[in-house]
Amino acid sequence: MTQGPEYTQPDITLIGDEHVRQYRATDGEVGYIWNGAPILLLTTTGRRSGEAKTSALIFGRDGDDYLIVGSMGGAPKHPSWYLNLSANPDVEIQVRGDCIPAVARTASDDQKSRLWQIMTEVWPNYDVYQTRTDRSIPVVVISPQERSGGSLAGGVGTRAE
């Protein structure tokens, strides 16, 4: 009998809106590392409300790009943030104190295998989450964009700007 990937129960004392609040208040001093994994804040535009929506998400890197995974723990539906960025790919991420304008896109089928491996090295539970659902869990590539002043946004801006 083949055994599937092993699940590690995370500490969930800091999640959701409280995670976002503490991360923002401390520029990531609280919340940047969560269960050993790095966290960024992703702000999307609500596809129905038009309001800014922020989520704390595990991330990896691929060159200058940031990677996130739309797993929602292996739920049968995509997370709201994924549906939002699918409707409007212009996003902002906050990595520690740096706020970075960016464009998000779902990794192509050709890219997904390599990027999935990067992300499962950061958070091995993603393999378990995929076994819990019939949907293909997306890997999202977030590419930093230039600020209006022409400087690359890759970590130069801060919330104080």
Q: How confident is the model at residue 10 (pLDDT cuts 50, 70, 90)?
A: confident
- Whether the model pTM is above 0.85: yes
pLDDT in tens, 56-95: 999 999 999 999 999 999 999 999 999 999 999 999 999 9
Residue 159's Cβ-count burial label (10 Å; 0-12, 13-18, 19+) is: exposed
Q: Which of 128, 141, 145, 137 is nearest to 5 (CA)?
A: 128
pLDDT in tens, 93-116: 999 999 999 999 999 999 999 999
Q: Which of 44, 113, 51 is nearest to 79 (CA)?
A: 44
* More confident: 153 or 97: 97
Contacts of 92 (CB under 8 A, 6+ apart): 42, 43, 99, 100, 101, 102
Q: How confident is the prediction for the chain on average, in pLDDT?
A: 90
Residue 12's Cβ-count burial label (10 Å; 0-12, 13-18, 19+) is: exposed
What topology does CATH give the domain 16-143? Pnp Oxidase; Chain A (2.30.110)
